[in-house]
Amino acid sequence: MTEPPNDVLASYYRCRRSDQFIDSFYELFLATSPAVAVKFQNTDFKLQKLMLRQSLLEMLCFDRGLDGTEEEIQRLGRRHRELDIAPEMYAMWLDSLCTAIEQHDPEFTAELEQKWRVAMQKSITEMIAARE
């Protein structure tokens, strides 16, 4: 039996219809703090955008409890540790993501934003725990 798509996953696919969704996110995120901008100084953004799309999908699958996703989220956490991503940057990341979603999902609501935050926080908590 296949689960029906949830609101957050449906929102993600609506956002993906916009070619500017990921660009909007990075513009917002890089503007949050000079420390964030420094982390992306030498980034290949073509590759980075692909990785973000994949990571968001992994995070959404982890939220739904799909097999194999916990290991991927933990791997992301270890990679972030190697890159010295401070745990407080996740809050800036999530705020930027929610703003980009608001800009690109025509069905955005405050309730949907809260669902996104809960879904993403599950992965963020796991990634921070994997740092240790």
Regarding pTM above 0.85, the answer is: yes
Q: Are 11 and 116 contacting, i.e. CB atoms less than 8 angstroms apart? A: yes
Dump pLDDT digits (tens) for 27-53: 999 999 999 999 999 999 999 999 999
Structure tokens at 35: 């420390």
Q: Is the model's pLDDT at 105 over the cut of 50?
A: yes
Q: Pick from 88, 115, 99: which is nearest to 33 by CA?
A: 88
Dump pLDDT digits (tens) for 43-98: 999 999 999 999 999 999 999 999 989 999 999 999 999 988 988 999 999 999 99
Q: Are 25 and 100 contacting, i.e. CB atoms less than 8 angstroms apart? A: yes
The domain limits of the chain are 7-130
Say how far apart CA 132 and CA 121 lie, in whole Å: 18
Note the Cα 60 to chain centre separation in Å.
9
pLDDT greater at residue 1 or residue 114? 114
For the segment(s) 7-130, the CATH number from 3.40.50.300, 1.10.287.1080, 3.40.640.10, 1.10.490.10 is 1.10.490.10
